């Protein structure tokens, strides 16, 4: 139980710290957010809990491919905001397109014989 609490608190501290830094400097906020902190934390927690490097390898491989599907979010959201869309509709549409990109990418990868 203490491991779950530790993971939750540490992860929350990192997310809050990044958002606070982004308020002061969008550049440094972007630098920190662009780091694969979530992936690194997942690798560390998974290794500490299981010691299974094969699982970490498979997770890393899956992240590599699936990060491609997240990229449209970072193009569509600022474009919609630039064209005067409100934040929530922009975020909703960008997330919807991203979900579609995930489905499309998984379909293509499956058809190509790439296992996630």
The Cβ of residue 54 has, within 10 Å, a number of other Cβ atoms equal to: 8
- Residues 60 and 17: their CA atoms lie apart, in Å, by 25
- Model confidence at 14, pLDDT cuts 50, 70, 90, reads confident
Dihedral, 56, 58, 62, 64 alpha carbons, nearest 10: 70
Reported pTM: 0.76
pLDDT digits (tens, 9 = 90+) for 40-75: 988 998 999 999 999 999 999 999 999 999 999 999
CA quadruple 114, 110, 91, 7: dihedral sign: negative
Query: What percentage of residues in the chain have a pLDDT greater than 90?
Result: 66
pLDDT digits (tens, 9 = 90+) for 71-92: 999 999 999 999 999 999 999 9
Q: Is the pLDDT of residue 15 over 90?
A: no
Hey, is 25 helix, strand or coil? Answer: coil
pLDDT digits (tens, 9 = 90+) for 39-49: 898 899 899 99
């Amino acid at each position: 139980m203490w491991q779950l609490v530790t993971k939750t608190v540490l992860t929350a501290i990192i997310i809050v710290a990044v958002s606070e830094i982004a308020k002061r400097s969008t550049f440094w906020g972007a630098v920190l957010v662009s780091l694969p902190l979530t992936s690194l934390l997942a690798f560390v927690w998974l290794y500490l809990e299981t010691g299974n490097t094969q699982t970490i390898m498979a997770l890393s491989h899956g992240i590599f491919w699936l990060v491609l599907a997240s990229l449209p979010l970072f193009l569509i959201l600022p474009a919609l905001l630039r064209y005067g869309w409100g934040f929530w509709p922009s975020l909703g549409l960008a997330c919807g397109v991203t979900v579609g990109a995930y489905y499309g990418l998984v379909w293509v990868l499956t058809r190509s014989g790439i296992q996630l």
